[in-house]
């Protein structure tokens, strides 16, 4: 809410109308799909719901999703910290080009983010014949899924850290260095504590996206149930087999993750507003 003033007071009927329009629009566009997920998941009762998760393929999908997300988020966190250290603490030539490159994955269609790895490592790709000759498979395997997921979620941590670390400058680190602290010590005892909430926020958004990614993963995964089907892909497989209740049951778990993420995100934003550059999330 911004500051009130008589000049800002709209006629009550006007305010009521706009609030009603917003509520109706958001109910129809956002709330209805969310309710539908849970309603369809529970339509055949709790037993059927539990049954969907008793399936070994469902459990394999959950494990795969968690595994892929863990690796991708770890990679992008290390990358985010390194990139932010270089960009925020030093002045160098070509900095804005590097920042543009970091942002680029957000403007690429998820399907294209998967496609590019097929063009490199697929059977007809640039490195395909060589990989094939050496018996290495990337596309349609766990590795391919990790690659695509990592590309899609690459900017999250870096984008969150760079503006905050730029604003904080390098004075505190320089002081630590002058007092004799080594590079790593300075990094872990000065830099990290200064950015911990922003780091957490970036990791949260990155994790949520990594677990829910569909388009990029759909292209590089072989869609093999129990092996290369992540949760979103498993939802697709079940849906296409007309196992609607099971599809919505698995979907409801993803929706639950999304709601928890949204809640934690909102709490972080309320509590640490000045430290976070509230991101546009994609």
Partner 1 sequence: MSLTPTNGRKPFRFVEPSALPGFGAAFGFTLVYLSFFVLIPLAALALKPWESGWGLFVDIVTRPRTLAALRLSFGAALIAALVNAVFGTIAAWVLVRYDFPGRRLLDAFVDLPFALPTAVAGIALAAIYAPNGVVGSLFAPFHISIAYTPLGVMIALIFVGFPFIVRSVQPVLEDLEVEIEEAAATLGASRWRTITQVVAPVILPALLAGFSLSFARAVGEYGSVIFIAGNIPMVSEIAPLLIVIQLEEFDYAGAAAVGLIMLTLSFVMLLILNLLQGRIARRGRR
Residue 198 or 204 having the CB closest to partner 1: 204
Residue 207: alpha-carbon gap to chain centroid: 5
Task: Tell me the C-alpha distance between 60 and 149, whole Å.
Answer: 18
> Shortest gap between Cβ of 226 and partner 1 (angstroms)?
18
The least distance separating partner 1 from the CB of residue 196, rounded to whole angstroms, comes to 19
CB-CB neighbours of 25 under 10 Å: 10
Comparing CB distances to partner 1, the nearer of 29 and 54 is 29
The least CB distance from residue 51 to partner 1, in Å, is: 18
Burial 66-90 (b: 16+ CB within 10 A, else e): eebbebbbebbbebbbebbbebbbe
**Minimum distance from residue 195 beta carbon to partner 1 (Å):** 15
For partner 1, which is the closer residue by CB, 41 or 60? 41
How many whole angstroms separate alpha carbon 42 and alpha carbon 125? 44
**Phi and psi at residue 169, to the nearest 5°:** 70, -170
> What is the SS3 assignment for 26-46?
HHHHHHHHHHHHHHHHCCCHH
Q: Is 281 helix (H, G, I), strand (E, B) or coil?
A: coil
Cβ atoms within 10 Å, residue 226 = 15
**C-beta of 50 vs 259, nearer to partner 1:** 259
What is the closest distance, in whole angstroms, from the C-beta atom of residue 87 to partner 1 in the complex? 8
45 or 183: CB nearest partner 1: 183
What is the nearest approach in angstroms of partner 1 to the Cβ of residue 34? 7
Distance in Å, CB of 20 to partner 1, minimum = 9
Please check whether residue 257 is in contact with residue 213, taking contact to mean a CB–CB distance below 8 angstroms: no
Asked whether 93 and 170 are in contact (CB, 8 A), the reply is no
Comparing CB distances to partner 1, the nearer of 60 and 191 is 191
Of 45 and 126, nearer to partner 1 (C-beta) is 126
Instruction: Please give the torsion angle defined by the CA atoms of residues 279, 146, 88 and 273, in that order, rounded to the nearest 10 degrees.
Output: 30
């Amino acid at each position: 809410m911004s500051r009130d003033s008589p000049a800002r007071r709209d006629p009550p009927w006007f305010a009521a109308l706009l609030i009603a329009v917003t509520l109706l629009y958001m109910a129809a566009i956002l709330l209805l799909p969310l309710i539908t997920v849970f309603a369809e998941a529970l339509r055949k009762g709790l037993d059927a719901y539990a049954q969907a998760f008793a399936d070994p393929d469902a459990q394999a999908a959950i494990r795969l999703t968690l595994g892929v997300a863990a690796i991708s988020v770890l990679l992008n966190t290390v990358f985010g910290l390194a990139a932010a250290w270089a960009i925020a603490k030093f002045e160098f030539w070509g900095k804005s080009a590097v920042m543009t490159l970091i942002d680029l994955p957000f403007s690429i269609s998820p399907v294209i983010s998967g496609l590019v790895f097929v063009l490199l490592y697929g059977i007809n790709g640039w490195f395909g014949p060589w990989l094939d000759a050496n018996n290495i498979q990337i596309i349609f395997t766990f590795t391919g899924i990790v690659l695509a997921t990592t590309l899609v979620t690459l900017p999250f941590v870096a984008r969150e850290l760079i503006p905050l670390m730029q604003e904080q400058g390098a004075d505190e680190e320089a002081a630590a260095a002058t007092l004799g602290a080594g590079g790593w010590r300075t990094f872990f005892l000065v830099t990290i504590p200064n950015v911990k909430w922003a780091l957490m926020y970036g990791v949260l958004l990155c994790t949520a996206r990594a677990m829910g990614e569909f388009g990029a993963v759909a292209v590089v995964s072989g869609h093999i149930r129990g092996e290369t089907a992540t949760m979103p892909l498993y939802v697709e497989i079940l849906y296409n087999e007309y196992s609607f209740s099971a599809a919505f049951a698995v979907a409801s778990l993803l929706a639950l993750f999304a709601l928890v993420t949204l809640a934690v995100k909102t709490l972080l934003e309320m509590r640490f507003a000045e430290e976070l550059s509230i991101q546009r999330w994609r």
